[in-house]
């Protein structure tokens, strides 16, 4: 007979094999990914200026942090998406701070710049846009992701980011202006 107990990390589990705890963990993680995984990946990719590999890592870390609070979070509840978004945003900010404190990382830019006969112009344009987006502040990129990429209303973006609608409008205006300037400096504005 098994009795509910607390595991070493303070989470509810089962005595003995741990099968009960593993099942609950798998169900929680699967539910979070099913309900919010695609949304989190879109937001992370936008905040990271298109770096999908790093975005996937941050989504995994966000879900892991949600799992640590599984006792108080419900994957089906509306409020969890906002909570997950804040965790994801904080991970992006923490990553930027950490990179500023250490030497630059090596990148695969050489691979991105390899010539491709039929998609060269598309790749070049995407690279220029990524560079222009990377030059924007996190707040500007964040609001552009929600308003333009995710096609959310000003009210929905304000609620998701936890800022007033007027701030969303002004940040969107300033972000678009900064993006136009960055693209113009690269010769890509009509």
* Coil, strand or helix at 169: helix
Can you give the CATH number for the domain in which 7 is found?
1.10.1740
Query: Coil, strand or helix: which one is 160?
Result: helix
- Asked if 85 and 130 sit in the same domain, the reply is no
Domain boundary among 56, 72, 105: 105
Q: What is the CATH number of the domain that holds 173?
A: 1.10.10.10
What is the tally of structural domains in the chain? 2
Contact 76, 35 (CB under 8 A): yes
Domain termination site, one of 72, 105, 138: 105
- The segments of the chain whose pLDDT lies below 50 read 1-19
Q: What is the pLDDT of residue 37?
A: 92
What range does the domain containing 4 cover? 1-105
- Let me know whether 100 and 113 are in one domain: no
Same structural domain, 56 and 100: yes
User: CA–CA distance from 74 to each of 23, 32, 84 (Å)?
Assistant: 16, 9, 12
Final residue in a domain of this structure, among 77, 105, 133 = 105
Looking at the DSSP bridge assignments, the partners of residue 12 are 6
Instruction: Spell out the residues 6+ positions from residue 143 whose beta carbon is closer than 8 angstroms to its own.
Output: 157, 161, 168, 171, 172, 175
pLDDT of residue 16: 45
Contacts of 165 (CB under 8 A, 6+ apart): 154, 155, 158
Claim to verify: residue 53 and residue 145 sit in the same structural domain: no
pLDDT of residue 102: 67
How far, CA to CA in Å, does 69 sit from each of 29, 46, 74, 130, 171? 11, 26, 10, 34, 32
| Domain match, 137 and 97 both | no
Q: What integer best gives the mean pLDDT of the chain?
A: 81
**What DSSP line would sit under 103-158, residue for residue?**
PPPP--HHHHTS--TTTHHHHHHHHHHHHHHHTS-HHHHHHHIIIIIS---HHHHH
One domain, residues 131 and 165: yes
Q: What is the pLDDT of residue 138?
A: 92
Cβ atoms of 91 and 61 within 8 Å: the answer is yes
Residues 72 and 123 in one domain: no
State the pTM of this model: 0.51
């Amino acid at each position: 007979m098994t009795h509910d107990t607390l595991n070493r990390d303070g989470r509810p589990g089962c005595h003995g094999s741990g099968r009960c705890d593993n099942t609950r963990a798998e169900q929680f993680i699967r539910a979070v990914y099913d309900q919010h995984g695609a949304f989190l990946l879109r937001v992370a990719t936008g905040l990271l200026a298109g770096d999908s590999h790093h975005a996937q890592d941050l989504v995994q870390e966000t879900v892991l942090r949600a799992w640590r609070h599984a006792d108080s979070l419900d994957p089906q509840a509306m409020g969890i998406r906002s909570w997950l978004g804040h965790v994801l945003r904080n991970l992006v900010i923490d990553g930027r701070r950490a990179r500023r404190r250490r030497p630059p990382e090596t990148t695969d830019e050489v691979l991105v710049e390899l010539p491709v006969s039929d998609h060269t112009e598309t790749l070049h344009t995407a690279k220029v846009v990524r560079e222009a987006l990377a030059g924007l502040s996190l707040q500007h990129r964040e609001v552009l992701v929600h308003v333009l990429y995710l096609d959310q209303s000003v009210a929905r973006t304000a609620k998701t980011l936890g800022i007033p609608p007027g701030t969303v409008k002004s940040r969107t205006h300033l972000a678009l202006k900064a993006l136009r300037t960055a693209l113009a400096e690269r010769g890509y504005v009509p």
